[in-house]
Structure 1
């Protein structure tokens, strides 16, 4: 027998409705909050990263000798585990090898965060 959740107040400011939902909102406010909740992005193949991308990724890692190109420009030798679009696809970049580089996870996260901020706040 499934255990009932403890009744709680809705997390929406000023709402005193009681609910048993795991997300913390009553049914009325859950619909309002649905816009910010992450939606599933689909599989890697559905997002354009299928077998052709995996082959290209391996080609780029080999070309760049499995070294992070960002760290290399700064005089450090760091193992690259990822492949990055130099000009990201949302800004017109392509999957052409000249637009791809081997990159370490740390540099990739940092670069992606800067691109996301630029996208949120406009190019500066």
Structure 2
């Protein structure tokens, strides 16, 4: 496979050339962000996630939905998937709910247990 053509380093006024995907020469390789390649557009970060999270928290009145189903009013701290992404659930408002930290921890442990059982 042919090598990448050399391009100038992305650091301003640096005259070195590089063939790296991140665009920095060896001298400035520490400027490259490790999360900038591979998972583009995925994950829970940035403005789109914050907007969706705020929308779900407002919809659920900042109350933990699992606790509310049990008849308790508990302030929510997080937003979590109802059907986990690992089990095919989308990251959309209809599949998200506000949840308190203890419920979130218990739900995450239950999901991890189910994943381990599926793996065996």
Q: For 1:48, which of 43, 60, 75 is the aligned residue? A: 43
Q: Which runs of 5+ in 1 are unaligned?
A: 1-40
| Cα distance change, pair 93–73 in 1 and its aligned pair in 2 (3 A) | same
RMSD of aligned residue pairs (Cα, Å): 2.2
| Cα distance change, pair 117–42 in 1 and its aligned pair in 2 (3 A) | farther
The answer to whether 1:121 aligns with 2:117 is: yes
Distance 2:35 2:64 in 1: 28
Distance 1:84 1:56 in 2: 11
TM-score (norm 2): 0.63
Aligned residue pairs total: 82
TM-score (norm 1): 0.61
2:93 corresponding residue in structure 1: 97
1:122 partner SS: helix
Q: Which runs of 5+ in 2 are unaligned?
A: 1-33
2:73 corresponding residue in structure 1: 77
